[in-house]
Structure 1
Amino acid sequence: MTASITAPDNDRPPPARFVFDRHTWKEIAHLLANLPIALLGFVYVTVTTSVGAGLSVTVIGLPLLALCLMGARGIGKAERARARALLGVRIDEPSPLPGPAHGEGVIASVWSRLKDPVAWRSVLYSFIRLPWGVLTFTVMVVGLFVLWPVLPFIARGLSNADRAMVRGLLSPSDELERRIAELESDRGVVVDTAAADLRRIERDLHDGAQARLVALAMGLGLAKEKLLEDPDAAAAMVDEAHGEVKLALQELRDLARGIHPAVLTDRGLDAALSSVASRCTAPVTVTVNLDERPAAAIEGIAYFTVSELLQNVSKHARATRASVDVWRSGDRLLLQVMDDGKGGARLDGGTGMAGLAERLGAVDGLFVLDSPPGGPTTVTAELPWRVREASEARAARTH
């Protein structure tokens, strides 16, 4: 989930007055607590970062520094909680550190924690807080005995500086948090999609080709036993086994086509989509207007998107005709699938539309569904021309 920060205007206390209300007392308590808390934070980050940096020439130095930075994250979390309770600063927590990726080694895991910007901003916060804590503690103590009439205004001015520090150094970075959330979401989509595909392949093999091959082996075994005593029956069994072999081969071809069809690799989207369209229950007109082929990964996503949409036409649309159009616009690949069926398709309708939208979103694509009741249904999808362009486009959106 992308972190968001409440606008500062919404968490400001009421204007300072000569009256000591609860907001003023909370601000005074916060400013008095600055010194002991800042002292603890300063000692922690100074000692731990110095020791970690000093031992960085050894095998334990960098892992120790990574642990210290995780502790600095904890300091930032505690300071945000204190600011929320005493200063009324409503601010979201940064995203947690992502867990180690599959196959990630110890060095990569340590390095990702050493680069954690949230932790380093907490370290900077702890460094600059000590002199500030000395100042605020001194002013508050003097104010309580000498400057009592104007103390609410002094407390408000100093606590506003505290609010600015918390927002500036301990708040989530919009750009970073959005990027982390997108990467985590995309990784989850890719992992879930891969797992679903593996389960589908396993199920198809188990229920289809594997079952036929088992029956084929049993049939050939029986034919072998009858070969001498009843040649005619054995010949009939061999003929039947031959038919089973053909069916098993056809199922294996269909399965391979579902993984990545050879026609797509050899001849591109035009031929591959025409092959898919020929299997649709409604007549389909295919128009592919491309002067060159997109990246193989993008081409595969486009193929399987159209394939699943045409399967939906066959299963659900009750259409009498459909069309597929594919063209290029700048650095984007666009495809549109239309049918004159009953319409009423929804992203949450159980037809796989939501899964298609997630798959396209994982590569910075777009998926637009227009399907009013009674039809027609139009699905427009947009993909980057190259995989690299997807990363560039997403980076551009975060600026």
Structure 2
Amino acid sequence: MTERLPSARRDRYADDDRPPPARLAYDAHTWREIAHLLANFPMALIGFVYTVTVLFTSAFLTMTVIGFPLLAAGLMGARQLGKLERARARALLGVRMDEPSPLPLRSTRHGVFAQLWMALKDPVGWRTVLYDFIRLPWGILTFTLTLVSLFVLWPVLPFLARGLTNADRAMVRGLLSPSDELERRIAELESDRGVVVDTAAADLRRIERDLHDGAQARLVNLAMGLGLAKEKLLDGQADDQVAAMVEEAHGEVKLALQELRDLARGIHPAVLTDRGLDAALSSVASRCTVPVKVTVDLESRPAEAIEGIAYFTVSELLQNVSKHSGARSASVEVWRTDDRLLIQVGDDGRGGARLDGGTGMRGLAERLDAVDGLFVVDSPEGGPTTVTAELPWRDRDRDRDRQRPTG
């Protein structure tokens, strides 16, 4: 969770996080700065020993299979040291700084080697290593000057402490702030692109399987049945036998057509293309086993890709309501807030839904995460359940203009 400076500290430094000017008086700001400088040496020593141990041990073991995993673990540990230093800078120096985003190493959308590579190239971990490596001389210097000044240079210590801690503030902001989160996010989205490709391939395999086991098998049976009927006609056999075979073939045709319609609806329903989310979600809701109230408040239609993801998200959630919730009623709300499309599906069922509950929730979360969306499940035991999905908004017309060839 991202940590932010408490509101009282924000009020104290209204415009920025610079402390008030140094004075001869030993006020609370000065004592906090002195405490920070005296703690510099032990903290710098811990960080330096940790960094040197991790780097040298990992470098020595890179010839074996455990070298790179050990280095990745060391960088993750460096992240924790950086978190401790940021907390110290907030508490004692008043530095306003958010926490970097955590590495998504627990997500199932990344394989083991992808997670290892993500940890190895983590910029936050490497900048923390650099910070800990160069801090030891500075920690010794600031600790010694502060300790001596407490007994020798007492009158000027507030000014000395302010100058030294300003250098500390600059180092913390320069090396420990989440300044390159954009680059890390780009790398994560590049990894997510592979997830999208895998999902598309899985969907194609599902369509192929459904065609092979469903409509294709029925059409093969239909062809065989019509061939037998033709042979019986040519052999002059009884019309009632041929009529029965034709009737059976007619039934197979109707079933095959229904399966093809269902398959086409699963790929992209015509009602969504023609009439938008309101009509498409109302159609999905009508097939739910419990009454569903649908509210769609959109002045325009989102891009086709976003609209499709929204549709299939609601469709999957309502299937879960039908199969697992034991609810008496459900609701679907869709609206736009700034540049985000929000979806909320709720029911008054038994609750207990989880991302790892085996009801497709994790797949939905991964699909939304791959397009920079969010997926939140609130489902205590005993209910009710509320699932909120958030997608980036892109205008349909702008998307079409971007895709239209030029020249």
TM range (shorter): 0.5 to 0.7
Code of the residue aligned with 1:17 in structure 2: it is: R
Q: In the alignment, is residue 179 of structure 1 matched against residue 143 of structure 2?
A: no
1:168 Cα offset (Å): 0.6
Q: TM-score, with normalisation over the residues of structure 2?
A: 0.56
CA–CA separation in structure 2 for the residues paired with 1:118 and 1:354: 33
Q: TM-score, with normalisation over the residues of structure 1?
A: 0.57
**1:312 equivalent in structure 2:** 276
**Is the 1:366–1:382 contact (alpha carbons within 8 Å) kept by the matching residues of 2?**
no
**Is the 1:2–1:181 contact (alpha carbons within 8 Å) kept by the matching residues of 2?**
no
Greater mean deviation of Cα atoms: 236-245 or 10-19: 236-245
Q: 2:394 aligns with which of 356, 364, 367?
A: 367
> Structure 1 379/185 Cα, relative in aligned 2: closer, same or farther at 3 Å?
same
Q: Give per-residue Cα distances to partners, 1:52-78, cap 9 Å, x unaligned.
A: 101211222222222211111111111
> Structure 1 149/354 Cα, relative in aligned 2: closer, same or farther at 3 Å?
farther
> Could you say what the CA RMSD is over the residues aligned between the two structures, in angstroms?
5.1
1:354 Cα offset (Å): 7.3
Structure 2, unmatched stretches of 5+, are 226-237, 281-297, 312-339, 342-366, 373-391
* SS of residue in 2 equivalent to 1:15: coil
* SS of residue in 1 equivalent to 2:394: strand
Q: In the alignment, is residue 90 of structure 1 matched against residue 93 of structure 2?
A: no
Code of the residue aligned with 2:30 in structure 1: it is: T
CA–CA separation in structure 2 for the residues paired with 1:56 and 1:75: 23
CA–CA separation in structure 2 for the residues paired with 1:175 and 1:160: 27
Code of the residue aligned with 1:61 in structure 2: it is: G
CA–CA separation in structure 1 for the residues paired with 2:183 and 2:2: 9
CA–CA separation in structure 2 for the residues paired with 1:305 and 1:144: 76
1:240 Cα offset (Å): 3.0
Q: 2:133 aligns with which of 111, 127, 140?
A: 127
1:310 Cα offset (Å): 1.5
Q: 2:58 aligns with which of 52, 61, 74?
A: 52
Structure 1, unmatched stretches of 5+, are 220-230, 261-303, 317-342, 370-377, 387-399
Q: Give per-residue Cα distances to partners, 1:85-144, cap 9 Å, x unaligned.
A: 1111121111212226647244x4333322221111111000111001001101111111
CA–CA separation in structure 1 for the residues paired with 2:119 and 2:185: 18
CA–CA separation in structure 2 for the residues paired with 1:252 and 1:139: 81
Residue correspondence of structure 1 range 1-399 to structure 2 within 5 A: 10-99=16-105, 102=109, 104-106=111-113, 108-172=114-178, 173-179=180-186, 182=189, 237-254=244-261, 257=264, 308-312=272-276, 315=279, 344=299, 352=307, 355=310, 362=371, 367-368=394-395, 381-383=400-402
Identity, in percent, stands at: 50
CA–CA separation in structure 1 for the residues paired with 2:239 and 2:189: 66
**Is the 2:123–2:184 contact (alpha carbons within 8 Å) kept by the matching residues of 1?**
no
CA–CA separation in structure 1 for the residues paired with 2:66 and 2:398: 55
* SS of residue in 1 equivalent to 2:276: helix
> Structure 1 175/105 Cα, relative in aligned 2: closer, same or farther at 3 Å?
closer
> Structure 1 87/313 Cα, relative in aligned 2: closer, same or farther at 3 Å?
closer
> Structure 1 233/313 Cα, relative in aligned 2: closer, same or farther at 3 Å?
farther
* SS of residue in 2 equivalent to 1:16: coil
* Count of aligned pairs: 295
Code of the residue aligned with 1:308 in structure 2: it is: L
CA–CA separation in structure 1 for the residues paired with 2:68 and 2:101: 23
CA–CA separation in structure 1 for the residues paired with 2:2 and 2:42: 34
1:39 Cα offset (Å): 0.4
